[in-house]
Amino acid sequence: MHYTKSQDPAVQKQNPPPPPPPPQQSHQVPPKPVADQSEAVPPPLKPSSMGPSQTPVQRSDTILGKPFEDVKSYYTIGEELGKGQFGVTHLCPEISTSQQYACKFISKRKIVTKSDREDIKRDIQIMQHLSGQSNIAELNGAYEDKYSVHVVMELCAGGELFDRIIATGHYSERAAASICRSIASYEEQQVS
Protein backbone atom coordinates (compact mmCIF):
# COMPACT_ATOMS: atom_id res chain seq x y z
CA MET A 1 0.00 0.00 0.00
CA HIS A 2 1.04 3.52 -0.62
CA TYR A 3 0.47 6.25 2.00
CA THR A 4 1.24 9.89 1.91
CA LYS A 5 3.31 11.12 4.84
CA SER A 6 0.24 12.37 6.78
CA GLN A 7 -1.64 9.08 6.23
CA ASP A 8 1.21 6.75 7.27
CA PRO A 9 0.27 5.14 10.65
CA ALA A 10 3.90 5.04 11.79
CA VAL A 11 4.31 8.77 11.21
CA GLN A 12 1.01 9.52 12.96
CA LYS A 13 2.20 7.71 16.14
CA GLN A 14 5.45 9.63 16.20
CA ASN A 15 3.81 13.02 15.58
CA PRO A 16 0.49 13.15 17.45
CA PRO A 17 -1.89 15.89 16.39
CA PRO A 18 -1.59 19.18 18.27
CA PRO A 19 -4.00 19.67 21.20
CA PRO A 20 -7.09 21.77 20.53
CA PRO A 21 -6.80 25.46 21.36
CA PRO A 22 -8.09 26.53 24.80
CA PRO A 23 -11.70 27.71 24.84
CA GLN A 24 -12.11 31.42 24.31
CA GLN A 25 -14.03 33.45 26.82
CA SER A 26 -17.09 34.83 25.07
CA HIS A 27 -20.26 36.52 26.15
CA GLN A 28 -22.26 34.71 23.48
CA VAL A 29 -24.42 31.73 24.37
CA PRO A 30 -23.48 28.72 22.24
CA PRO A 31 -26.28 27.51 19.98
CA LYS A 32 -28.22 24.46 21.13
CA PRO A 33 -27.47 21.36 19.09
CA VAL A 34 -30.37 20.24 16.93
CA ALA A 35 -30.69 16.50 16.65
CA ASP A 36 -33.37 16.50 13.99
CA GLN A 37 -34.03 19.18 11.36
CA SER A 38 -37.81 18.82 11.90
CA GLU A 39 -37.30 20.25 15.40
CA ALA A 40 -35.77 23.39 13.87
CA VAL A 41 -38.99 24.29 11.99
CA PRO A 42 -40.75 27.19 13.72
CA PRO A 43 -44.38 26.67 14.76
CA PRO A 44 -47.08 28.12 12.49
CA LEU A 45 -48.07 31.74 13.06
CA LYS A 46 -51.10 32.44 15.20
CA PRO A 47 -53.62 34.91 13.78
CA SER A 48 -52.96 37.36 16.64
CA SER A 49 -49.24 37.53 15.76
CA MET A 50 -49.80 38.21 12.07
CA GLY A 51 -49.77 41.63 10.50
CA PRO A 52 -52.82 43.08 8.76
CA SER A 53 -51.70 42.07 5.27
CA GLN A 54 -50.93 38.46 6.17
CA THR A 55 -53.41 35.62 5.76
CA PRO A 56 -53.78 32.60 8.07
CA VAL A 57 -51.28 29.83 7.48
CA GLN A 58 -52.86 26.73 6.02
CA ARG A 59 -52.22 23.82 8.34
CA SER A 60 -51.28 20.44 6.94
CA ASP A 61 -53.58 18.67 9.42
CA THR A 62 -56.78 20.20 8.06
CA ILE A 63 -59.50 17.99 6.66
CA LEU A 64 -60.96 20.55 4.28
CA GLY A 65 -57.57 21.73 3.04
CA LYS A 66 -58.15 25.39 3.93
CA PRO A 67 -57.27 27.61 6.90
CA PHE A 68 -59.24 27.27 10.13
CA GLU A 69 -62.26 29.56 10.47
CA ASP A 70 -64.59 30.12 13.40
CA VAL A 71 -68.13 29.25 12.33
CA LYS A 72 -69.40 31.42 15.20
CA SER A 73 -68.11 34.48 13.33
CA TYR A 74 -70.85 33.93 10.75
CA TYR A 75 -73.61 31.99 12.55
CA THR A 76 -75.30 31.91 15.94
CA ILE A 77 -75.41 28.39 17.34
CA GLY A 78 -78.95 27.54 18.42
CA GLU A 79 -80.86 24.57 19.73
CA GLU A 80 -79.86 20.98 18.99
CA LEU A 81 -81.85 19.45 16.13
CA GLY A 82 -80.44 15.93 16.15
CA LYS A 83 -77.48 13.59 16.64
CA GLY A 84 -75.74 11.16 14.34
CA GLN A 85 -72.79 8.79 14.32
CA PHE A 86 -70.20 11.53 13.75
CA GLY A 87 -71.77 14.66 15.14
CA VAL A 88 -74.58 16.89 16.31
CA THR A 89 -76.78 19.19 14.22
CA HIS A 90 -77.86 22.59 15.56
CA LEU A 91 -80.16 25.32 14.37
CA CYS A 92 -77.82 27.98 13.06
CA PRO A 93 -79.11 31.42 12.01
CA GLU A 94 -76.73 33.46 9.87
CA ILE A 95 -75.65 36.60 11.75
CA SER A 96 -75.73 38.97 8.76
CA THR A 97 -79.16 37.93 7.36
CA SER A 98 -80.93 36.03 10.20
CA GLN A 99 -81.60 33.28 7.61
CA GLN A 100 -82.12 29.91 9.38
CA TYR A 101 -79.70 27.08 8.55
CA ALA A 102 -78.72 23.75 10.05
CA CYS A 103 -75.10 23.23 11.08
CA LYS A 104 -73.66 19.77 11.55
CA PHE A 105 -70.77 19.76 14.02
CA ILE A 106 -68.52 16.78 13.21
CA SER A 107 -66.07 16.09 16.03
CA LYS A 108 -62.50 15.47 14.83
CA ARG A 109 -62.12 12.92 17.63
CA LYS A 110 -64.50 10.68 15.70
CA ILE A 111 -62.60 11.13 12.43
CA VAL A 112 -59.88 8.61 13.18
CA THR A 113 -58.83 7.04 9.88
CA LYS A 114 -57.63 8.45 6.59
CA SER A 115 -60.77 6.98 5.05
CA ASP A 116 -62.96 8.96 7.50
CA ARG A 117 -61.13 12.17 6.53
CA GLU A 118 -61.57 11.45 2.82
CA ASP A 119 -65.27 10.58 3.31
CA ILE A 120 -65.99 13.91 5.03
CA LYS A 121 -64.17 15.88 2.34
CA ARG A 122 -65.87 13.91 -0.47
CA ASP A 123 -69.35 14.36 1.07
CA ILE A 124 -68.82 18.13 1.15
CA GLN A 125 -67.57 18.14 -2.44
CA ILE A 126 -70.64 16.15 -3.55
CA MET A 127 -72.94 18.61 -1.77
CA GLN A 128 -71.16 21.50 -3.53
CA HIS A 129 -71.57 19.73 -6.88
CA LEU A 130 -75.29 19.09 -6.30
CA SER A 131 -75.97 22.68 -5.30
CA GLY A 132 -79.15 23.96 -6.92
CA GLN A 133 -80.79 20.53 -7.40
CA SER A 134 -84.37 20.19 -6.25
CA ASN A 135 -85.11 17.86 -3.31
CA ILE A 136 -81.51 18.13 -2.03
CA ALA A 137 -80.48 20.22 0.97
CA GLU A 138 -78.37 23.14 -0.21
CA LEU A 139 -74.85 23.48 1.20
CA ASN A 140 -74.24 26.99 2.49
CA GLY A 141 -70.67 26.56 3.71
CA ALA A 142 -68.09 24.30 5.32
CA TYR A 143 -65.79 25.47 8.11
CA GLU A 144 -63.13 23.85 10.22
CA ASP A 145 -61.49 24.66 13.52
CA LYS A 146 -59.13 22.78 15.82
CA TYR A 147 -61.86 20.50 17.18
CA SER A 148 -64.59 20.13 14.54
CA VAL A 149 -65.68 20.34 10.94
CA HIS A 150 -68.87 22.40 10.56
CA VAL A 151 -71.18 21.80 7.60
CA VAL A 152 -73.80 24.55 7.22
CA MET A 153 -76.75 23.61 5.02
CA GLU A 154 -80.31 24.49 4.21
CA LEU A 155 -82.67 23.88 7.11
CA CYS A 156 -85.13 21.12 6.18
CA ALA A 157 -87.80 21.26 8.87
CA GLY A 158 -89.95 18.47 7.45
CA GLY A 159 -88.31 15.73 9.53
CA GLU A 160 -86.92 12.32 8.59
CA LEU A 161 -88.76 10.16 6.05
CA PHE A 162 -88.27 7.09 8.25
CA ASP A 163 -89.76 8.88 11.27
CA ARG A 164 -92.72 9.99 9.16
CA ILE A 165 -93.35 6.43 7.93
CA ILE A 166 -93.22 5.07 11.50
CA ALA A 167 -95.53 7.83 12.80
CA THR A 168 -98.06 7.28 10.00
CA GLY A 169 -97.99 3.50 10.33
CA HIS A 170 -98.61 3.02 6.63
CA TYR A 171 -98.93 5.03 3.46
CA SER A 172 -101.50 4.64 0.74
CA GLU A 173 -100.17 3.35 -2.53
CA ARG A 174 -100.63 6.82 -4.04
CA ALA A 175 -98.65 8.57 -1.26
CA ALA A 176 -95.89 5.93 -1.38
CA ALA A 177 -95.71 6.30 -5.19
CA SER A 178 -95.32 10.08 -4.83
CA ILE A 179 -92.40 9.66 -2.42
CA CYS A 180 -90.79 7.03 -4.67
CA ARG A 181 -91.12 9.35 -7.69
CA SER A 182 -89.30 12.11 -5.79
CA ILE A 183 -86.47 9.73 -4.91
CA ALA A 184 -86.32 8.29 -8.45
CA SER A 185 -86.25 11.81 -9.92
CA TYR A 186 -83.21 12.61 -7.82
CA GLU A 187 -81.48 9.37 -8.84
CA GLU A 188 -82.25 9.99 -12.51
CA GLN A 189 -80.62 13.43 -12.30
CA GLN A 190 -77.47 11.83 -10.87
CA VAL A 191 -77.16 9.33 -13.75
CA SER A 192 -77.66 11.85 -16.55
Binding site residue list for ATP? 104
Among 85, 140, 82, CA closest to 107: 85
CA distance 80 to 77: 9
Annotated binding site: which residue ranges? 104
- Reference 87, options 71, 73, 65; nearest CA is 71
C-beta contacts of 116-119 below 8 A and 24+ residues apart: 117/63
10 Å CB burial of residue 141 (0-12, 13-18, 19+) is middle
- The CA distance from 125 to 147, in Å, is 21
